[in-house]
């Protein structure tokens, strides 16, 4: 627990000189800088962030507000945010908004109480946190007005739709999880853009949609595009029970590239968010805003990446189902 005063006394020099030497500001002779730095590291000196924060008015800490754990991207985003923050010598304080908009604002307030310099918010489904007293970046909500960075969900939908049409499929089912989610709607929107060359596109939602699947396939659908890997897993289980094979009878895709997609058989074709890039850009924007520089582009969409695996294949001319018929 060596402090600046001890180093100063130890070397017969003033505290200001030590501070200047260590931070590189002010005017100190080169050799004095060297001697001070040496002695400081010998003593294992660690500047007190509290002292610095008090003086500078900046805590060097960002607040991260995360929704409930239904978002399976949480750990990866947090991990990469933490990495990006480390590179810039700032810390990340987490808060949990527990699925509830009220808790979300409370979480934000707790972080503000702690004096964070800025906020990273992954908002609750459908909510748009208002303007805060510190610079803020919204993560991963599609069509938000203000400073937001997000995966290009629509682009991802288009990507996977183009993949499926390139394989020759012309009768497609889109299966969404939840209509209220803006993200889900964006994904579906993108899929439709990529399906302009398709003959029929059937859009289904949720549990009910699932039940109509077998019928749709009997009517000629050869590909199912879901808006979530979890949904894709459920569809696959469902199809097996109906005696429908993936990808032989019907191609199936997910969304988000969750780890279990690799454990499925066949392994799931899906589309992945570039969480690393999202985190990097988010921190960049936020730090720029904190340093008072206005960022030119208020809205940033990070491209998604197609992950081609085994659950999609070329459209066959005669499927086993047709022979059954």
Which one of 48, 79, 219, 237 is in contact with DNA (CB under 7 A)? 48
Tokens of 50: 């509290």
Contact 269, 240 (CB under 8 A): no
Contact 213, 239 (CB under 8 A): yes
242 counts as binding a second copy under rule CB under 8 A? no
Binding to DNA (CB under 7 A) within 288-307 occurs at none
Binding segment for a second copy (CB under 8 A), chosen from 94-102, 135-143, 185-193, 297-305, is 94-102
Binding segment for a second copy (CB under 8 A), chosen from 22-30, 78-86, 196-204, 247-255, is 78-86
Tokens of 29: 């002779």
Contact 303, 102 (CB under 8 A): no
Rounded-to-integer distance, Cα 81 and Cα 119, Å: 12
Contact 77, 139 (CB under 8 A): yes
Rounded-to-integer distance, Cα 91 and Cα 93, Å: 7
Smallest gap from residue 299 Cβ to a second copy (A): 27
Give the CB-side neighbour count of residue 232, counting CA atoms within 13 A. Answer: 32
Binding segment for DNA (CB under 7 A), chosen from 24-32, 69-77, 135-143, 224-232, is 24-32
Q: From DNA, a second copy, none, which one binds at residue 23 (CB under 5 to 8 Å depending on kind)?
A: DNA
Q: From DNA, a second copy, none, which one binds at residue 98 (CB under 5 to 8 Å depending on kind)?
A: a second copy
Contact 6, 43 (CB under 8 A): yes
240 counts as binding a second copy under rule CB under 8 A? yes
Contact 77, 276 (CB under 8 A): no
Binding segment for a second copy (CB under 8 A), chosen from 186-194, 199-207, 215-223, 260-268, is 260-268
Binding segment for DNA (CB under 7 A), chosen from 55-63, 135-143, 192-200, 305-313, is 55-63
Which one of 34, 51, 86, 179 is in contact with DNA (CB under 7 A)? 51
Smallest gap from residue 251 Cβ to DNA (A): 59
Smallest gap from residue 39 Cβ to a second copy (A): 19
9 counts as binding DNA under rule CB under 7 A? no
89 counts as binding DNA under rule CB under 7 A? no
Between 43 and 167, CB nearer to DNA: 43
320 counts as binding a second copy under rule CB under 8 A? no
Which residues lie near DNA (CB under 7 A)?
1, 3-5, 12-17, 19-20, 22-23, 25-29, 32, 45-48, 50-52, 54-57
């Amino acid at each position: 627990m060596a402090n600046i005063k001890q180093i100063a006394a130890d070397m017969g020099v003033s505290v200001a000189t030590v501070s200047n030497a260590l931070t590189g500001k002010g005017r100190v002779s080169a050799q004095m800088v060297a001697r001070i730095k040496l002695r400081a590291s010998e003593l294992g000196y660690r500047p007190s962030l509290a002292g610095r924060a008090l003086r500078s008015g900046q805590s060097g800490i960002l607040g991260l507000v995360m929704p409930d754990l239904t978002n399976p991207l949480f750990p990866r985003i947090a991990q990469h945010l933490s990495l990006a923050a480390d590179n810039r010598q700032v810390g990340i304080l987490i808060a949990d908004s527990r699925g509830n908009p009220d808790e979300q604002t409370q979480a934000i307030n707790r972080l503000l109480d702690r004096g964070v310099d800025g906020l990273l918010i992954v908002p609750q489904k459908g909510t748009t946190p208002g303007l805060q007293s510190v610079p803020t970046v919204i993560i991963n909500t599609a069509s938000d007005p203000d400073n937001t960075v997000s995966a290009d969900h629509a682009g991802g939908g288009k990507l996977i739709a183009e993949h499926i049409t390139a394989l020759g499929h012309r009768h497609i089912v889109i299966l969404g999880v939840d209509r209220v989610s803006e993200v889900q709607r964006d994904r579906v929107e993108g899929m439709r853009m990529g399906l302009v060359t398709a003959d029929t596109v059937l859009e289904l939602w949720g549990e009910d949609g699932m039940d109509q699947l077998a019928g749709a396939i009997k009517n000629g659908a050869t590909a199912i595009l879901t808006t979530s890997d979890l949904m894709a897993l459920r569809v696959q289980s469902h199809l097996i029970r109906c005696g429908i094979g993936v990808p032989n009878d019907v191609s199936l895709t997910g969304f988000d590239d969750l780890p279990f997609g690799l454990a499925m058989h066949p392994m799931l074709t899906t589309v992945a968010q570039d969480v690393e890039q999202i985190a990097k850009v988010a921190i960049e924007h936020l730090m720029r805003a904190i340093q008072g520089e206005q960022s030119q582009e208020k809205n940033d969409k990070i491209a998604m990446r197609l992950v081609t695996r085994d659950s999609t294949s070329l459209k066959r001319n005669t499927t086993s189902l047709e022979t059954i018929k």
